[in-house]
Amino acid sequence: MEFIRTDIPDVVICKPKVFGDHRGYFSETFRKDALEDFLGYQVNFCQDNESRSSFGVLRGLHYQLPPYTQSKLVRVQEGCVLDVAVDMRKGSPYYGQYVSVELSFENKQQLFVPRGFAHGFVVLSETATFAYKCDNYYAPKYDRGFIFSDQYVNIDWRLSPENIVLSDKDRNQPAFQDAEAFDYHQNLYDDEIEHDGKRHTLV
């Protein structure tokens, strides 16, 4: 597995090694110790999600507030998407900036999106199956977002507006500067959640 820091160094491209021959291919898509050695901290994934979407479907931009903030490791199992991570940490030198990476079945790249970032993607192929690991559980009361077309962040989604398909939720998200943000100096990996009546430390 090769790890590459993006223009926002906390956001990391993960490139698995692919071994192929006439039978097909084999690839190790996730290795916890290798990722943590590169990042320098623990990431305990606890929930896997999958979605299938058609061309032009845009899902995002989403994040969760503490204590349910999430890191995500995302990849495409079929098709191609433009994947985007936006720094939501006030005080960060990259606050309001974004990283966009094309993820596809062909290139097999993955993107690690750390806590403190909003995440979204748009489908560039006819259809796409998108899978991601999360290191915290989905918590609707802590779910937040901002509008994909926000002019302050000014994301290039590579598609014209008439080709973008949104849910009602994503169509009515607030502007970036009206969205709830994180504190860059807060340790977002040092928290606890309650699950099944027990307290769990997320470090």
* Total domains present in the chain: 1
Pick the catalytic residue from 62, 95, 137, 184: 62
Residue 108 lies in a domain: yes
Looking at residue 174, which CATH number applies to its domain?
A: 2.60.120.10
Residue 54 lies in a domain: no
Name the band, by pLDDT with cuts 50, 70 and 90, for residue 189: confident
Residue 43 lies in a domain: no
Q: Which domain holds residue 68?
A: 2-18+61-201
Residue 34 lies in a domain: no
**Segment 167-175 long-range contacts (CB within 8 Å, at least 24 positions apart):** 167/59, 169/145, 170/58, 170/59, 170/60, 170/145, 173/61, 173/145, 173/146, 173/147, 173/148, 174/145, 174/146, 174/147, 175/146, 175/147, 175/150
Please indicate whether residue 62 is annotated as part of the active site: yes
Residues 10-35 have a mean pLDDT of 95
What's this model's pTM, rounded to 2 decimal places? 0.92
Name the band, by pLDDT with cuts 50, 70 and 90, for residue 191: low
**89-109 confidence digits (pLDDT tens):** 999 999 999 999 999 999 999
Pick the catalytic residue from 63, 68, 98, 132: 132
